[in-house]
Structure 1
Amino acid sequence: MKIGISISIPLAEQRFEEAMAIAQSDFPVPEQWSTLSRQVGESTRGGDTVVLGCALLAKACDSRIDPFVVKLGETERGYHMRGIADHVLAPARDRYGFDLGSQSANPTNGSTWLKPRTLHDIVTREKGSFEFLLSVLAYVDRLDEQEALRAFAAWLRERFAVALKNQPIIISDTESDLAQIVTAAKSFVLEDPERGGRGQALAAAALSLIWADVRTGKINDPSRHWPGDVHVFQAAEKNPMVAIEVKQREVTEDEVWAFTRRCANQGIKNVMYVALSPGQQDGGGLDASRVARELDCVFTWIYGVEELIFHAFAWSPRGVKVNIRNLARGMVMRMVEVGLPVSTQKRWAELTRSSFVE
């Protein structure tokens, strides 16, 4: 028999709407929970915000839940956090436009949250921010359902404020020529990789000059269905036509081969590896002829920012000036998709000599 407290999705949706009505009104919300929600949201761990939101909403549905036990079957008070995140908060984020701390359709689908028996069992390098989250969850555990509802309304109000603050910039024009935008892109990617996010955004933006349907997502998103950071799709096809891995650190031939083999095993026959580390050895030692012979795949190795942009411009059906403008503008959209902040978007505009509006 499965132990724990099951929270029905219709009930969670109902309580969410009640909290939303409070959050969008002039009705006061608890100042303590506004402050705590804001402080948790300042953590570099985006998942902390999701966990707090799930705990408050779950508590508003049933005060018996234990916010430290986020899986059914572990204790009598454990609850199904992923169900709240996937079926209530993520759809509501898309509908209302608040910042959830994650753009994923499955915000808590990761071993960090789902593997440990309780949140106390998690080991992280960001010890200070995580311990603060645990201290806040201890307060959550003392709330009754109505108190939790008002606290969740405060959380929602804070997440709307974050979304408003993080509205992406809009680039109206750029003064860069081809040589200048290449130089700017190289400086932008290398000065601060931001966990690989800048390189991933650039690869997606550059390849969008060639293909119409290029998709990417959050850095290291555990909900990805296919190997790779960036994917190219064709109309009516469910699986990607091209898979692209982007790395800003040096990689070995074994890593490149393993990625290519994973793609082949999932039926992806066009594979690209974009290596942006200045110290990278050409090709990672992998031979495209070997890939064709052993995996029946087309393998393309792209080294460096210059080669990435020059290849994209060469294969694009549009002219150089249009591509420069589209690359400058498209980078902002891709930075939003991978989760880079407005300050990074403004840095891109500065380096590319682009005018923008906020």
Structure 2
Amino acid sequence: MKIGISISIQLAEQRFEEAMAIAQSDLPVSAYWSELTREVGRSPRGGDTVVLGCALLAKACDSRIDPFVVKLGVSERGYHMRGIGDNVLAPARDRYGFDLGSESANPTNGSTWLKPRTLHDIVTRDPESFGFLLEVLGEVDRLDEERALRAFAAWLRERFAVALKNQPIIISETDSSLIGIIEAAERFVVENPERGGRGQALVAAALSLIWSNVETGKITDPSRHWPGDVHVFQAAEETPILAVEVKQREVAEGDVVAFVRRCASRGIRNIAFCALSPHQQRLESLDAIDVAREFDCVFTWIYGVEELVLHAFAWSPRGLDANIRNLTRGMVKRMVEVGLPVSTQKRWAELTRSTFLE
């Protein structure tokens, strides 16, 4: 028998709208819960903010829930956090525009939250911030439904403020030359890879100079459908016409061969591997080429930032000055898609000698 407290999506949506009405009104909200939300939001894990939002909304629906037990089948007070996150908070984020702490459609779909029996069982690399989250969830556990609703309204208002603060910059002018944009891009991806996000954004922005339908997504997206980090589509085709894997660390031949096989098995005929590490060795005798031929596919190596940028500029239908402008501005769009913060966007503008609007 499944034990725990089931919260209907209809009730959760109703309570959400009640809290939203408060958050968007001139009514005061709890300064105490606003401050707790801000502090949790400083965690290096965006998921902490999601967990707090789910717990407050669930508590507003049923005060019996245990915010430390986030799945059914564990205890009589456990609740289904993923149901709240996926079916209520994520759609509401897309509808209203507040910052949830995650851009994923499945913000709590991870082993960090769903594998342990309780949140107390989680071991993290940052025990201080996680310990604070647990303290705050202890505060949540003492709330009744109406106080939880007010606390959730404070959470919402604070997350709207974060979204407003994190609006992407708009690059108006750039003073980069060809050498300047290459040197800026090389420094940008090396100085702080941000889990590969900077390189992924650069590849997507560069390919957009050639193709009109280039797609990428969050660095770690569990719902990613196709192999690779960046994909090019053609209007009438559902399968990508090009898939690109982007790595900012050194890769071995076996990694590349495995990627080619995954793409070929999915019907992707044009495959590229972009190795952006300055320490990457050229693998001239790469077996990936033979594997691609075996599957009647094309495989392309791209070594380093300079090669990526020069190839994109060479194959673009536009002139050099337009390409420099478009790459500089297009990087902001791609950084947003990958999930990089405004501070990273500003660093890009600084390195490319660009002026921007906030």
Query: Could you say which TM-score interval applies, normalised by the shorter chain?
Result: over 0.9
Cα offset for 1:203? Answer: 0.8
Task: Report the counterpart of residue 303 of structure 2 in structure 1.
Answer: 303
Task: Report the counterpart of residue 144 of structure 2 in structure 1.
Answer: 144
In structure 1, how many angstroms separate the alpha carbons of the residues matched to 2:73 and 2:239?
35
Q: Structure 1: which amino acid aligns with 2:325?
A: R
Task: Report the counterpart of residue 132 of structure 1 in structure 2.
Answer: 132
SS at match of 2:292: helix
Task: Report the counterpart of residue 198 of structure 1 in structure 2.
Answer: 198
1:253 is aligned to 2:272:
no
Change (3 A) 1:147 1:343: same
In structure 2, how many angstroms separate the alpha carbons of the residues matched to 1:320 and 1:246?
24
In structure 1, how many angstroms separate the alpha carbons of the residues matched to 2:85 and 2:146?
20
Cα offset for 1:224? Answer: 1.4
Task: Report the counterpart of residue 207 of structure 1 in structure 2.
Answer: 207
Residues 260 and 292, structure 2, Cα contact 8 Å, conserved in 1: no
In structure 2, how many angstroms separate the alpha carbons of the residues matched to 1:21 and 1:347?
37
1:155 is aligned to 2:155:
yes
In structure 1, how many angstroms separate the alpha carbons of the residues matched to 2:117 and 2:259?
31
The two structures, once aligned, show a CA RMSD in angstroms of 1.5
Task: Report the counterpart of residue 77 of structure 2 in structure 1.
Answer: 77
Cα offset for 1:310? Answer: 0.9
Cα offset for 1:74? Answer: 2.2
In structure 1, how many angstroms separate the alpha carbons of the residues matched to 2:17 and 2:236?
35
Task: Report the counterpart of residue 267 of structure 1 in structure 2.
Answer: 267
Q: Structure 1: which amino acid aligns with 2:333?
A: M
Cα offset for 1:60? Answer: 0.7
In structure 1, how many angstroms separate the alpha carbons of the residues matched to 2:334 and 2:158?
25
Q: Structure 2: which amino acid aligns with 1:14?
A: Q
Which deviates the most, 103-112 or 231-240?
Answer: 231-240
Residues 251 and 280, structure 1, Cα contact 8 Å, conserved in 2: yes
Task: Report the counterpart of residue 65 of structure 2 in structure 1.
Answer: 65
Which deviates the most, 233-242 or 6-15?
Answer: 233-242
In structure 2, how many angstroms separate the alpha carbons of the residues matched to 1:236 and 1:262?
22
In structure 2, how many angstroms separate the alpha carbons of the residues matched to 1:266 and 1:131?
43
Task: Report the counterpart of residue 103 of structure 2 in structure 1.
Answer: 103
SS at match of 2:87: helix
What is the total number of aligned residue pairs between the two structures? 358
Task: Report the counterpart of residue 167 of structure 1 in structure 2.
Answer: 167
In structure 2, how many angstroms separate the alpha carbons of the residues matched to 1:226 and 1:119?
32
In structure 1, how many angstroms separate the alpha carbons of the residues matched to 2:224 and 2:277?
24
SS at match of 1:173: strand
1:341 is aligned to 2:344:
no
Cα offset for 1:159? Answer: 0.4
- Deviation per CA, 1:79-118: give whole Å up to 9, x if none: 1111111111111111111111111111112222222222
Residues 291 and 298, structure 1, Cα contact 8 Å, conserved in 2: no
Cα offset for 1:323? Answer: 1.1
In structure 1, how many angstroms separate the alpha carbons of the residues matched to 2:316 and 2:166?
31
Which deviates the most, 265-274 or 17-26?
Answer: 265-274
Consecutive aligned runs of 4 or more in structure 1 exceeding 6 Å deviation: none
In structure 1, how many angstroms separate the alpha carbons of the residues matched to 2:257 and 2:43?
36
SS at match of 1:249: coil
Cα offset for 1:270? Answer: 2.0
Task: Report the counterpart of residue 45 of structure 2 in structure 1.
Answer: 45
Cα offset for 1:152? Answer: 0.5
Task: Report the counterpart of residue 328 of structure 1 in structure 2.
Answer: 328
In structure 2, how many angstroms separate the alpha carbons of the residues matched to 1:320 and 1:291?
35
Residues 256 and 284, structure 1, Cα contact 8 Å, conserved in 2: no
Q: Structure 1: which amino acid aligns with 2:196?
A: G
Change (3 A) 1:323 1:110: same
In structure 2, how many angstroms separate the alpha carbons of the residues matched to 1:85 and 1:240?
30
In structure 2, how many angstroms separate the alpha carbons of the residues matched to 1:227 and 1:74?
35
Q: Structure 2: which amino acid aligns with 1:25?
A: S
Residues 243 and 271, structure 1, Cα contact 8 Å, conserved in 2: yes
- Structure 1 gap segments, 5+ residues each: none
Cα offset for 1:287? Answer: 3.5
Q: Structure 1: which amino acid aligns with 2:158?
A: E
In structure 2, how many angstroms separate the alpha carbons of the residues matched to 1:231 and 1:327?
17
Task: Report the counterpart of residue 8 of structure 1 in structure 2.
Answer: 8
SS at match of 2:333: helix
Q: Tell me the TM-score normalised to structure 2 length.
A: 0.96
- Structure 2 gap segments, 5+ residues each: none
In structure 2, how many angstroms separate the alpha carbons of the residues matched to 1:236 and 1:106?
28
Residues 283 and 303, structure 1, Cα contact 8 Å, conserved in 2: no
SS at match of 1:185: helix
Change (3 A) 1:236 1:52: farther
1:228 is aligned to 2:249:
no
Residues 288 and 298, structure 1, Cα contact 8 Å, conserved in 2: no
Cα offset for 1:303? Answer: 0.9
Which deviates the most, 276-285 or 121-130?
Answer: 276-285
1:313 is aligned to 2:308:
no
Residue identity over aligned pairs, in percent, reads: 79
Cα offset for 1:196? Answer: 1.3
